[in-house]
Amino acid sequence: MSTEAREAPQAPEDPRRGTLRSGKGRLADPIFKWVVAACGTTVLVILALMVIRTTSEAWPVFAKEGFFGFLFGETWNPGRSRTEITGTYGAWPFIYGTMVTAVIAIAIALPLSIMVAVYLTHLAPRRLAKPLSYTVELLAAVPSVIFGLWGLHWFLPTVLRPFFTWLESILGWFFLFEGPVRGVGYLPAGIVLAIMILPIMTAIIREVIAVQPVEQQMAAYALGSTRWEVITKVILPASFSGIVAAAMLGLGRALGETIAVLMLIGGSQSWGASLFGTGSSMASHIAATFGESSPESRIALMAIGVALFLVTMIVNILARVVVWRLGQFTGDAAV
Amino acid sequence: MSTATTTPPSAQHTPLSQRPPGSGYRRLKDRSASVLLTAAMVLAMIPLILIIFEVTRRGIGVVSLEFFTETEPPPRREGGGYAAGFFGTLYIMALSILMSIPLGIATAVYVVEYGPNRLTSAIRFFTDVMTGIPSIFVGLFVYGLLVIGWGGMGFGTFAGAVAIGVMMLPIVTRSAEEMLRLVPEEMRNASYGLGARKWQTIMHTVLPAAAPGLATGSMLAVARGIGETAPLLLTAFGSGLVVTAFQGEAQGAVPMQLYRGATQPFEAGIDRAWGAALCLFVLVLLFTVLARWIGSRGTR
């Protein structure tokens, strides 16, 4: 700048021409900044709109049933009114279905994803590790409607139904496995959900394990530990919070999954203890009945959506807080 | 390790290098654990292989040229295709790409180039949170906002595109953000050194440098968006006919049509659903693999 100032007197124009704060296009920078800032704020606006719009829409239902009455009521009997709330709305059967399927999914996917992540980081031949993790993550790319189709028309009749019949014949006395085996129900939905959330959980746990300091592991090996001992006594305890975060993100996915669950859970509006029984999850009930619903019951479906949103947000925010504390491992490959 | 050999080995003990890691019991445990972990890995691979195999086997016979050019007859009858669905998906995806990708990249530019401040960390946090919103809730939101709400515009292409756009936005933003962070600071400084303004630096230096990465993220988002079903059920609603209306008329899409075909008890409809699944799968895989390929080329 100083050299320009020295030569400037020869030029008849403004000596500050060409510096950053003057001349043509001076406004371009602030305008650009404001445009991208406005775009950035859109995310916040969309989220705020989501909360406000759906809650205000669903408010009459909460007002009539009461928040807890809505959550724990067991009858879902939609009215046909256009202007007021006349039916009875209790979302408990759907909340129960959501919880049961999500718990089944986590119970299967969590141990499996921990084992796969450990295998990928510590056991896999170096050349295979990358293609293998890539393949597991490819599973995350499969659209959920394909999981539903495959589950309903291949996995269920070929693998699950024979397995369920066998399970029922052995453990039928236990209330969780009471017959009859109808095919669709909580258990198949939960099992397919487990397959669907496996990739994201594996991806996060793998990243968490991969950044554990090598020195500790080397020290454990030097003390004569076997690989199994290093894994269970050094790596996994140190990765505990990351594993919790992964489980919660997986749980968030499982709670909100719609189409695959809808195709496999059976769609009844009752609930029962048996895992072979049919039911509905919150999301699947919304999708299943939305098309034929009266305006009034659509408002009630909106209320289910708000409850679902609340639960998944709590789970997700807790998980994100754990992940953020850990640093920057967010399972990008499988978002 | 070499220091261990300098100490004189005592006569009672075998040298360290010859001793197996752990006693027999511990070694057995270690071996069986390795087998277990390998088995878990194999188990995790099985579903993908089965899905690919089954979708290909049942879908390949259905997909032909007329599958893309004809609309679907009543589910009982054979023949026909998903032309309505493909057209609807194309239409909806084009609109949602136009909305979400520029918005997502601009958001990432703001977060990376103008941050960190309180607003950018809020944006980052809520973008992360947004990836976890159930897709059905996004559908309800757009239904409440546009279909019956302030817009009152009814079901249609635009409402569906907004829903899919909202689903894609956090994916685009997150990946774009990471890609912009990878652009070395020296490039920005070099650009400033040549007298470029900040917006010129971003538009002509940072974004081109990050372009392969941005393409990767956008394509992954598109791959995700193509397969979304739940939000469309509540916003586009579905249609068996080719709909060209921008808004106000229910629009179809492949995943929705697939879902309806698969849940009806007619063999012909289910067969067509497998065909659609194959097309959808190939499309999604193509986008995913291509995205990774571009990404790996860009970062090399």
Average pLDDT over every residue of A301-306: 92
Contact A226 B22 (CB under 8 A): yes
Fill in the amino acid letter for A72. Answer: F
**Model pLDDT, residue B59:** 92
SS3 at position B237: strand
Question: Which residues 5-64 in chain A show a CB within 8 A of chain B?
Answer: 18, 20, 25, 28-29, 31-33, 35-37, 39-44, 46-47, 49-50, 53-54, 57
Residues of chain A found within 8 Å of residue B140, distances taken between Cβ atoms = 54, 286, 301-302, 305
Residues of chain B found within 8 Å of residue A224, distances taken between Cβ atoms = 21-22
Contact B229 A258 (CB under 8 A): yes
Q: Does the beta carbon of B98 lie under 8 angstroms from any beta carbon of chain A?
A: no
Listed in sequence order, the residues at least 6 apart from B170 whose beta carbon sits closer than 8 Å to its beta carbon are A43, A335, B104, B127, B128, B130, B131
Q: What is the DSSP string of A294-309?
A: -HHHHHHHHHHHHHHH
Q: What is the DSSP string of B156-221?
A: SHHHHHHHHHHHHHHHHHHHHHHHHHHS-HHHHHHHHHTT--HHHHIIIIIHHHHHHHHHHHHHHH
Distance from CA of A187 to the nearest CA of B (A): 17
**Model pLDDT, residue B293:** 87
Determine phi and psi for B239, rounding to 5 degrees: -160, 145
Residues of chain A found within 8 Å of residue B58, distances taken between Cβ atoms = 154
Contact B128 A305 (CB under 8 A): no
Residue ranges in chain A assigned as alpha helix (H): 2-7, 28-65, 67-72, 92-118, 126-141, 144-150, 161-171, 186-210, 214-222, 227-230, 236-238, 240-256, 259-264, 282-290, 295-326
Express each pLDDT in A13-45 by its tens digit: 444 445 555 556 678 888 999 999 999 999 999
Q: Is the predicted pLDDT of residue A281 greater than 70, yes or no? A: yes
Residue A224: how many CB atoms within 10 A of its CB?
13
Residues of chain B found within 8 Å of residue A47, distances taken between Cβ atoms = 126, 129-130
Q: Is the predicted pLDDT of residue A173 greater than 80, yes or no? A: yes
Contact B119 A36 (CB under 8 A): no
What does the DSSP 8-state code read for residue A89? E
Q: Does the beta carbon of B228 lie under 8 angstroms from any beta carbon of chain A?
A: yes
Chains A and B form CB pairs within 8 A to the count of: 276
Using the CB atoms, write b or e for A96-115: b if 16+ within 10 Å: bbbbbbbebbbebbbebbbb
The CA distances from residue B33 to A118, A231, B40, B43, in Å, are 11, 10, 10, 15
Q: Does the beta carbon of A252 lie under 8 angstroms from any beta carbon of chain B?
A: yes
Question: Which residues 155-214 in chain B show a CB within 8 A of chain A?
Answer: 166, 169-171, 173-175, 178, 195, 197-200, 202
Average pLDDT over every residue of A206-212: 88
Q: For A255, which residue in chain B has the nearest alpha carbon? A: B134
Largest CA distance in chain B: 91
**Model pLDDT, residue A333:** 38
Q: Which of A39, A61, A318 to mutate to test the interface with B (most CBs of B within 10 A)?
A: A39
Residue B231: name the closest of B105, B108, B145, B102 by CA: B145
Residue A18: how many CB atoms within 10 A of its CB?
15
State yes or no: ipTM above 0.90: no
Give me the percent of chain A exceeding a pLDDT of 90. 40
Nearest CB to A256: which of B126, B135, B285?
B135
Q: Does the beta carbon of B141 lie under 8 angstroms from any beta carbon of chain A?
A: yes
SS3 at position A159: helix
**Model pLDDT, residue A332:** 44
Nearest CB to B229: which of A135, A259, A308?
A259
Q: Is the predicted pLDDT of residue A253 greater than 80, yes or no? A: yes
Contact B166 A46 (CB under 8 A): yes
Residues of chain A found within 8 Å of residue B281, distances taken between Cβ atoms = 142-143, 146
Express each pLDDT in B115-158 by its tens digit: 889 999 999 989 988 888 999 999 999 999 988 877 678 888 99
**Model pLDDT, residue A317:** 85
Q: Is the predicted pLDDT of residue A270 greater than 90, yes or no? A: no
Q: Does the beta carbon of B53 lie under 8 angstroms from any beta carbon of chain A?
A: no
Q: State the average pLDDT for chain A.
A: 85
**Model pLDDT, residue B72:** 86
Q: Is the predicted pLDDT of residue A75 greater than 60, yes or no? A: yes
Banded model confidence at residue A334, pLDDT cuts 50, 70, 90: very low
d(C-alpha A140, C-alpha A142), whole Å? 6
What does the DSSP 8-state code read for residue A160? I
Contact B134 A283 (CB under 8 A): yes
Q: Does the beta carbon of A91 lie under 8 angstroms from any beta carbon of chain B?
A: no
**Model pLDDT, residue B257:** 92
**Model pLDDT, residue A304:** 93
Q: Does the beta carbon of B110 lie under 8 angstroms from any beta carbon of chain A?
A: yes
Nearest CB to A141: which of B33, B277, B285?
B285
Nearest CB to A309: which of B27, B41, B133?
B133
**Model pLDDT, residue A296:** 85
Give the pLDDT of chain B (300 residues) as one tens digit per residue: 444 444 444 445 555 455 555 568 888 888 899 999 999 999 999 999 999 999 999 999 888 888 898 888 887 888 888 999 999 999 999 999 999 999 999 999 999 999 889 999 999 989 988 888 999 999 999 999 988 877 678 888 999 999 999 999 999 999 999 999 999 999 999 999 998 889 999 999 999 999 988 999 999 999 999 999 999 999 998 888 888 888 888 899 999 999 999 988 888 889 999 999 999 999 999 998 888 888 777 654
Banded model confidence at residue A320, pLDDT cuts 50, 70, 90: confident
Determine phi and psi for A77, rounding to 5 degrees: -135, 85
Listed in sequence order, the residues at least 6 apart from B140 whose beta carbon sits closer than 8 Å to its beta carbon are A54, A286, A301, A302, A305, B234
Q: What is the DSSP string of B279-293?
A: HHHHHHHHHHHHHHH
Q: Which residue has the higher pLDDT, A172 or B55?
A: B55
**Model pLDDT, residue A328:** 52
Supply B274's token pair: 């497998």
Q: What is the DSSP string of A21-75?
A: TSSTTTTHHHHHHHHHHHHHHHHHHHHHHHHHHHHHHHHHHHHHH-HHHHHH---
Fill in the amino acid letter for B52. Answer: I
Judge whether A107 and B38 are in contact, CB under 8 Å. Answer: no
Contact A124 B202 (CB under 8 A): no
What does the DSSP 8-state code read for residue A9? G
Nearest CB to B110: which of A37, A283, A316?
A37
Banded model confidence at residue A124, pLDDT cuts 50, 70, 90: confident
